[in-house]
Amino acid sequence: MQIIAPLTIFVLIALAAKDIGKWFRLAGLPLISGFLFVGVLAGPYVLGLFDQQSMESVGFINAIALAFIAFAAGSELHLGQLKGTWRSILFIIGGLVVAVFIFGVIGYVLLAGAIPFMQGMTAVEVLAVALVGATIMVARSPASAYAIIKELRARGPFTKRIFGATVLMDSLVILLFAIAVSVADVLITDASFNPPVFFHIILEIALDIFLGILVGQILRLILALKLDRRLKTALILAVGYGIFFLADALRHVHLGGQPVELFAEPLLVALVAGFVISNYTRYGPEFNKIVEEISPVIFILFFILVGVNINLSVLGQTWTIILALFTIRLLGIIVGSFGGGVLAGDPMRHNRLLWLTFLTQAGVSIGLAQEVADEFPTWGVDFASLAIAVIVLNQIVGPPAFKWAIKRVGEAHPKADPSTFDGTRDVLIFGMGARALTLAKRLAQHDWSVRMVCLNKNFFVKIQGEKEIDARYVTSLGVDILADLESDNADAVVAMLPEDEQNYKVCELAYEHIGTERIVAFVRDPAQIARFRELGVSVVEQTTATVNLLEEFVRSPATTSLLLGESDSQDVMELMVIDQALDGVAIRDLHLPGDILILSIRRNGDLLVTHGYSRLKVGDKVTVLGTPDSIQTVDMRFAGYQIPSIQTL
C-alpha cells in the first residue's frame, strides 16, 4: 500500500508535464526539456514532492522505460535501409566513435580536479569515470533525427548517410557502454587485467546477446497472439521490466556454492531483442506501431524521473564544466565526422556540414546516464546529473543545427506556409474526363472559384466554353507553372490525372509550394496510398471508396444522402472564421439561424467536440449543417458581414 501515494503523485505530475512540455516546444525548445523541468521542480531540491523513499517506490517505472527505449533503438536498425551506403556509414561511424571517445576520455581526465565528485579519486577511478563518460558522449538521438527528417521530408544521399549512421551508432554505443561499464567495474574494484578477466567480460557480452535473442523470440510469441494491441503493449512492457529483474538476479548466481557475479547489461539485451523483431520476424511493422503509440507516455514518465534525480547542487558548481564537456564533444564530432567523410570519399560540401547533424542526444544517452547512477551509487548520481545537463544542452543546440544543414545541402522538402483566406474558396483541379468536369461544375454550384488544369489539349478546347470554369492548359507539371495558375490563394487542390505518378507530382507541388491543407487525389493503385497519405492527402481509391459508400448507405442512409448532396433542403459545409470580432465568442452567443447545427470545429489540425460554450478562434474551420440559405448567412457572419436579421432567422 505504500506505493499508492507516491504513484498517485507521480501520475498527477505526469499529467501536468504533458502540457508544460508543449509550452517549451512553443518556445523552440525540445519537449524533453519541459519534462525534465517538471521533474526538477518535483524533486527534493525544489518542491520536495519526491524523496528517496518515494523514488524507490516508483523505481519499476524507470526500469520499464529504459527497456522500452532500448527496444525502440533496436527496432530502428533496419539493415535493408542501409544498402548502398554501408561504406560511407561505417567510415563516418568509425571516425565519430574514435574521435569523440578519445576527446571525451582526455577531457574527463583533464577536468577531474574541477569536477566535485571526482576530486579525491585515484587515477584508476578517474579513468573508469572517463571511460563511461566518453562512451555516453558517443551516443546520438535517432528519434530526434527521424523527427527532423520527417518534418522536412528530407531525402537524398546526405540524409540517408546521416540517418543510417545515427541509428547504427546508437546501437553500437549500447554495446560499447556494456564493455565500458564492465571495465570500469574491474578498475574500481582493483581487479587486475588478466586473461580470465577479459574472458569474463567477453562472456558477459555474449550472454547479453544470447538473452536478447531469447527475449526477441518471447516478444515474437506475444505479437503472434490474437490479443488486443493494448494488452500486447502491457505484456511487452512487462517483458522489459523482466529483463532488469533477470539482470539483477544474475548478480547473485551461485555455482558450486560459490558466488559468481555476472554483469548482464539490460539495455543491450533489450536492444538485441528489438533488432531481432524488426529484422528477423514478420511482426516488425506491428512492433514499430506499438512503439510509436506508447512512446509519448514512456518518454514523459522517464524524463520526469530523470529530472527528479538531477542534483541541482552539483549543477550549480559545475556549469563551466558542462560548457567545457559540450565543447569537447563538439570538437570530437567535427574531427570525427569530417575525417570519416573524407576517408569514405564523400563530397567535400557534405563533409563540411556533417558535424551539424550529429549533435543531438536524448533517450538512449539519458538512459545510459541513469544506468551509471544505478551501477555506481557512490558517484553515479552526481555523474548522471552532470551528463544529463550536457545532453540537454546538446538537444537544445542540435535540432536547429540539423535542420540548417539539411536545408543547406538542398535535401529538405518541407510543407509551404498556407496563404491567408481571402474570402473566396478557390480550388485547383488537375484532371481530364467526365468525372473531373462534373466535380468542377458541382463545386462551382457551391460558390467555389474553380480553375481546371488540363494536360490534354483536346480536353482543354472542349471545356473552354464552360462559363463557371476557368480552364488552363499546361504542357508539364513543375514549380514554374504555379505562378501562372495563381495557385497561392488555392484553398484546395484535387488531382485526377490518368496516372498515379502525375497525381503524386501534383500533390507534392501543392504540399511544398502552395501549403494548402486540403489536397485530394484519385489513386488507382492501392499500393500507392500510403505514399500519398504521408503528404496528408485525402485519398480516393475507386474500389475502396465504392465499398465504403455502399456500407454507409446500409448503416446510415440519411446521413450518407446528406453528405452526397442528395438532399435539396439541407447541406453540409466547412466554413472558416475570419472576423476578428468573433475571436473568443461562445457558439451560444452567435445567435445563428435556428436550423443551423454546428457539427465540429477543426483547429490547428485537431478536431474539437463542440457544445454551446465552445469558443471560436480566428482561423477555425467550422463544419455546419443547415439549409443552403442559412449556411450562406453563417458564412457571411464568419467573414465579418453584419446581417441585420440574423437574430430573428
Q: What share of the chain has pLDDT > 90, as a percent?
A: 9
Q: How many Å is the Cα radius of gyration of the chain?
A: 30
d(CA 21, CA 253): 43
pLDDT band at 424 (very low <50, low <70, confident <90, very high): confident
Cβ atoms within 10 Å, residue 1: 4
**498-528, pLDDT tens digit by residue?**
888 989 998 888 888 888 878 999 888 887 8
Per-residue model confidence (pLDDT) at position 645: 42
Q: Is the pLDDT of residue 107 over 90?
A: yes
d(CA 458, CA 473): 10
Separation of first and last alpha carbons in the chain: 62
**448-477, pLDDT tens digit by residue?**
888 888 888 888 888 877 778 888 888 888
d(CA 636, CA 645): 12
- Residue 422: C-alpha distances to residues 122, 150, 419, 469, 585 (Å): 72, 30, 9, 19, 22
- The residues spanned by each domain of the chain are 4-408, 426-551, 568-639
Q: What share of the chain has pLDDT > 70, as a percent?
A: 84
Per-residue model confidence (pLDDT) at position 29: 65
* Triad 353, 357, 361: Cα angle to 5°: 150
- Residue 224: C-alpha distances to residues 232, 282, 286, 306, 577 (Å): 9, 10, 10, 34, 49
Provide the β-strand partners of residue 571: 626
Provide the β-strand partners of residue 8: none
* CA 593 and chain centroid, separation: 43
d(CA 169, CA 138): 8
**229-247, pLDDT tens digit by residue?**
889 888 988 988 888 888 7
Q: Is the pLDDT of residue 489 over 60?
A: yes
HEC profile for 9-76? HHHHHHHHHHHHHHHHHHCCCCHHHHHHHHHHHHCCCCCCCCCHHHHHHCHHHHHHHHHHHHHHHHHC
* Triad 101, 107, 108: Cα angle to 5°: 95
Q: Which of 221-225, 575-579, 641-645 has the lowest mean pLDDT?
A: 641-645
The residue among 177 and 321 whose pLDDT is bigger is 321
Q: Which CATH superfamily groups domain 568-639?
A: Regulator of K+ conductance, C-terminal domain (3.30.70.1450)
Mean pLDDT value of segment 319-336: 93
pLDDT band at 416 (very low <50, low <70, confident <90, very high): confident
Mean pLDDT value of segment 89-112: 92
**238-288, pLDDT tens digit by residue?**
988 888 888 777 766 655 444 445 666 787 788 888 888 888 888 888 888
Q: Is the pLDDT of residue 649 over 50?
A: no
The residue among 416 and 605 whose pLDDT is bigger is 416
Cβ atoms within 10 Å, residue 420: 10
Residue among 448, 500, 505, 498 at smallest CA distance from 478: 505
CATH class of 426-551: alpha beta
Type of residue at 584:
G
CATH class of 4-408: mainly alpha
Per-residue model confidence (pLDDT) at position 335: 94
Per-residue model confidence (pLDDT) at position 648: 36
Q: Which three cell numbers stand for residue 267?
A: 539495455
Q: Is the pLDDT of residue 435 over 80?
A: yes
